[in-house]
Structure 1
Amino acid sequence: MTPSANRGLSRRAFVRTAVAIGGAPALDACIERWGAPDAARPPDGGQSLPERQFAWDESVATDEAGNHLGPRHRVLLYLDYAREGEPTDADRERTEAALGSLERAYEWSNDGLLFTVSYSPAYFERFGADLPESVELPEPEALSSFEDPALDRPDAVVHLASDHGEAVLAAEEALMGDRESLGDVEMQASLADAFERVDRRTGFIGDGLPADNQDVAGIPDSEPVPEDAPLYMGFKSGFRKNQASEDRVAIESGPFADGTTQQISQIRLRLDDWYGEQDHDERVGEMFCPFHAEEGLVEETGEELGDSSRVEECPEDLDATAREHGRIGHAQKNATVREDGSPIILRRDFNSTDGDEAGVHFLSLQRSIADFVKTREAMNGTEQTRNLEIRQRVNNGILEYTFVKRRGNYLLPPRSRRALPTPRSG
């Protein structure tokens, strides 16, 4: 990608494309066009960072209703440890030095840089000890009769996030040893000293970005994605009252207390029928529930809902909804697995054009992977297929339009144990 080849793109589309391409040329193109990244730097007195790597809610922007807005640009780096056997102390020191360099270069916020590092079950297999009982981290698996995902087993995943795509690119370059400094902060080490990159996935979320980037497979040529939609399917998500709290998903005891578990599913979207056969009310009924469509609760993308999807107003009896309306809603199904009235997973998903197709990287945090499994099983709506008009993938929420390609499970340790942890001592 060169600046001259992309003069017609808006800045947000240009930067999204640069993040998707990656590498020094993409970063250089952004710098040539707009100058050095203007992401926020840490305050002069330094910054106090939370022990929870995933503690983002207090550090991101919010909308008028108080909903947390995820950073607009994302990169997922899939890494394998470069040596056999247990990691060395020297590699732990290099890893921590590299991650610490990012924290000295950028403010811990959406205007600077937020990031996490997590580890798979495959990583922990190299040790002669099991994870503590307070951590439940099974191997990934297919979670429905109609999916057959490839199972991701890298040793580690680094998730980089910022409203400034240039900052994400620069951080990636520095982490992988291709950039010696970030502004006036010299990198003390790189992850390339201990890891090999085995995959790279990218994405975005936020008003306007999906509309700017809908010329991909899976979306009709009519460019139907609303201009102000934050996601390809046209509606807001992540309402504050429909998300588990960071406290709810935190591991409570043991050496990984204040950590969490993370699952990442790569999902392909096929939205020709979503936009071509369904009108707005039908899409509302399948995304939320038919009650929302009947009552006109969602006029456009869902901004008017405030800080809640109001899914608690949907009938709890899914079979009755199926009999009356011939369809059931995605959010309506997921609400059946709440505990004490609250969700059990914290979503931080985002859209993607990886592979030149519309997609979602569905990233969720939960105290136990079992919480995600329970939520996914509710989403399947299998029991409701006993109703004549509900098929496994038709009139059953949004299953007709989403296809799971890959899935992985990870342990996201607390900050103090993030550098090549052992199962017991961190």
Structure 2
Amino acid sequence: MPSRRDLLYRLATITGAAGLSGCSNFLARRAASPTADLPPNPRAGSLPQSQHTWNDRLRTDSEDNPLLPEHFRLFLLDLDADPTEEAARTVELAMRTLEEAYEFRSDGLLHMLGWGTAYFERLGRLGDSPIRHPTVVSRTDDPELLSYDAILVLASDVPSQLAATEAAAFGTRSTLGGVTVAERLGDVFTVGERRTGFFGEGLPAQHANAEGVPNDIPSDVPNFTGFFSGRAGTQASEERVTISDGRYAGGTTMHLSHLRESLDSWWAMAEADRVTQMFSSEFSPEDVAGHGPLDFADAVTEHASETGRVGHWEKVARARKDGEPLLLRRDFNSVDGGHAAVQFLSLQRKLAHFEETRDAMNGWWLQDEHPDIQDEQHNGILEFIEVLSRANFYVPPRDRRAFPDA
């Protein structure tokens, strides 16, 4: 079996033959010096090896459900520099600055650097990578299918720390958390798109002036739809979504959708009807109060034929392996562009798991059970969302986050 170094030299030869001299030279040097001559990350011993391993660093609620940080910023990135060893050093040192400035936890700064389809196409390796270009996965949507080189995900309970990090990574701020900023991601990338958002009780009500949000949205709900979405049994474990073997082991795939929400008619429904559409007709408002686990019966077909309405979660609950969901969601509310939205960020071992879950959410097969169930009507939350865009990324392990190539 060829060694990793042999494979890198082979890739260097291929990319050189294709005219990608910058890629070829970089990969040849990485074959000889995979760490690009940098000393080991001084904080590696206190950080999880997988960038996406956040759960142990999150707050929890009274039911021990992990709670996402309250504020997010996403940066969809275009690569300005050739993927050289110098550029790799810049990226790695810029990320180490974030780790030195703030603790890797909710009240500090959580982050992931992922690499997109445009990057793997540069290397001529998209076909060998764990990701591919996004596709249309619903017949009711016409999203923009995006291709970026990379994505930086930042999350914190402290919004000022996100602002400071953005200024240090892509602006001119000279210090971050008392640490001198010597290298910036902005020296290598241009921000092609910036997205923001929030998660937590009371925060949606603070954005009731956004289009699609009723003025009387309850003051304590964590999401625009009013229900806590991170309860036990609805999320895959971090182990489940981690690639277990091969050259991309230790990483994960990331899907990002921008979902516009229109919720005036949602909040005009009775609470019991909202529970049915979000969860299932088997539950009452009292059943879903709080953040405790819900035991979904595998009876979505029966509910469709008997009530002419099906819930979002009972459909999605069918997309499981060994009884566990396939996706680990890190989605959050957003008002980018002045409209209520969800930045739907999901992690999964392979993108087929996202597509399988979305297929279950579509619920097309249930239309034969009752005439009231249509592509969107009486079909979970589909009539209240519109998919604006989709993009796919690979999130490598921490020690290979700067230009992953093997």
TM-score, structure 2 as length reference: 0.87
Which residue of 1 is the match for residue 179 of structure 2? 185
- The answer (yes or no) to whether the contact 2:43–2:100 under 8 Å persists in 1 is no
The number of aligned residues is: 364
> How far, CA to CA, are the matches of 1:379 and 1:397 in structure 2?
8
How is 1:35-46 mapped onto 2 (pairs within 5 angstroms)?
A: none
- The answer (yes or no) to whether the contact 1:225–1:233 under 8 Å persists in 2 is no
- The answer (yes or no) to whether the contact 1:322–1:389 under 8 Å persists in 2 is no
Q: CA RMSD in A?
A: 1.6
Which residue of 1 is the match for residue 5 of structure 2? none
Which residue of 2 is the match for residue 113 of structure 1? 109
Structure 1's consecutive aligned runs of 4 or more residues displaced over 2 angstroms after TM superposition are: 44-47, 128-132
The correspondence for 2:319, drawn from 337, 347, 351, is 337
> How far, CA to CA, are the matches of 2:144 and 2:127 in structure 1?
24
> How far, CA to CA, are the matches of 2:188 and 2:174 in structure 1?
16
How is 1:272-421 mapped onto 2 (pairs within 5 angstroms)?
A: 272-276=264-268, 278-293=269-284, 296-298=286-288, 302-303=289-290, 305-306=291-292, 308=293, 310=294, 312-314=295-297, 316-386=298-368, 387-421=370-404
**Counterpart amino acid of residue 333 in structure 1:** K
* Deviation readout 1:355-392 (Å, 9 max, x if unpaired): 00000000000000000000000000001111211011
Q: What is the percentage of aligned positions where both structures have the same residue?
A: 41
Pair 1:113–1:383, CA change in 2 (3 A)? same
The correspondence for 1:150, drawn from 130, 140, 144, is 144
| 1:56 and 2:54 matched | yes
- The answer (yes or no) to whether the contact 1:136–1:368 under 8 Å persists in 2 is yes
The correspondence for 1:260, drawn from 239, 252, 256, is 252
Task: Tell me by how many angstroms 1:131 deviates.
Answer: 5.8
> How far, CA to CA, are the matches of 1:126 and 1:46 in structure 2?
29
Task: Tell me by how many angstroms 1:236 deviates.
Answer: 0.4
| 1:71 and 2:69 matched | yes
Which residue of 1 is the match for residue 21 of structure 2? none
> How far, CA to CA, are the matches of 2:67 and 2:188 in structure 1?
33
Which range is displaced more, 223-232 or 148-157?
A: 223-232
- The answer (yes or no) to whether the contact 1:174–1:181 under 8 Å persists in 2 is yes
Task: Tell me by how many angstroms 1:130 deviates.
Answer: 5.1
Pair 1:130–1:313, CA change in 2 (3 A)? closer
Which residue of 2 is the match for residue 87 of structure 1? 83
* Deviation readout 1:143-185 (Å, 9 max, x if unpaired): 0111100012111110000000000110111011321111320
Which residue of 1 is the match for residue 36 of structure 2? none
Pair 1:286–1:339, CA change in 2 (3 A)? same
Which residue of 1 is the match for residue 119 of structure 2? 123
Helix, strand or coil: the match of 1:207?
coil
Pair 1:152–1:170, CA change in 2 (3 A)? same
Which residue of 2 is the match for residue 226 of structure 1? 218
**Counterpart amino acid of residue 98 in structure 2:** L
> How far, CA to CA, are the matches of 2:372 and 2:158 in structure 1?
46
Listed as ranges, the gaps of 5+ residues in structure 2 are: 1-41
Helix, strand or coil: the match of 1:292?
coil
Which range is displaced more, 260-269 or 174-183?
A: 174-183
**Counterpart amino acid of residue 275 in structure 2:** V
Helix, strand or coil: the match of 1:241?
coil
Task: Tell me by how many angstroms 1:325 deviates.
Answer: 1.5
